[in-house]
Amino acid sequence: QVQLVESGGGSVQAGGSLRLSCVASGSLFKISAMGWYRQAPGKQRELVARFSSGGLTNYADSVKGRFTSSTDNAKNTLYLQMNSLKPEDTAIYYCNARIWTTKWDENDYWGQGTQVTVSS
């Protein structure tokens, strides 16, 4: 019913930039929140940035000042602009969204993930 499709991952050198996109499609009655998480090998999945419908964005301390999340509501798309990338940013990046598919049903959805690799 709902699909989240990420794109934009890749390999860059330290100091470089990447822009991730996440497009939500399907039964989208209302999107309450969208965000980015990442998981590095051997580590737990962690929050990178979360954007709520109230307009607030929370960032992990490790990415503040370097990453910027934005949305295009008309396109149901979430972006993550990543600048000044560091090797420790290497991870699989996942898009997450809390979506009402009807006025009674709200659930969390995840994308398939996109790999970001930063070399030193």
Query: According to the model, what pLDDT value does residue 111 have?
Result: 97
The pLDDT, as a whole number, for residue 56 is 72
pLDDT for residue 57: 85
What is the tens place of the pLDDT at every residue in 76-117? 999 999 999 999 999 999 999 999 999 999 999 999 999 999
Residues 9-62: tens digit of each pLDDT: 999 999 999 999 999 999 999 988 999 999 999 999 999 999 876 777 899 999
Task: Output the pLDDT for position 53.
Answer: 66
93 CB contacts (<8 Å, ≥6 apart)?
6, 9, 20, 36, 37, 38, 48, 80, 113, 114, 115, 116
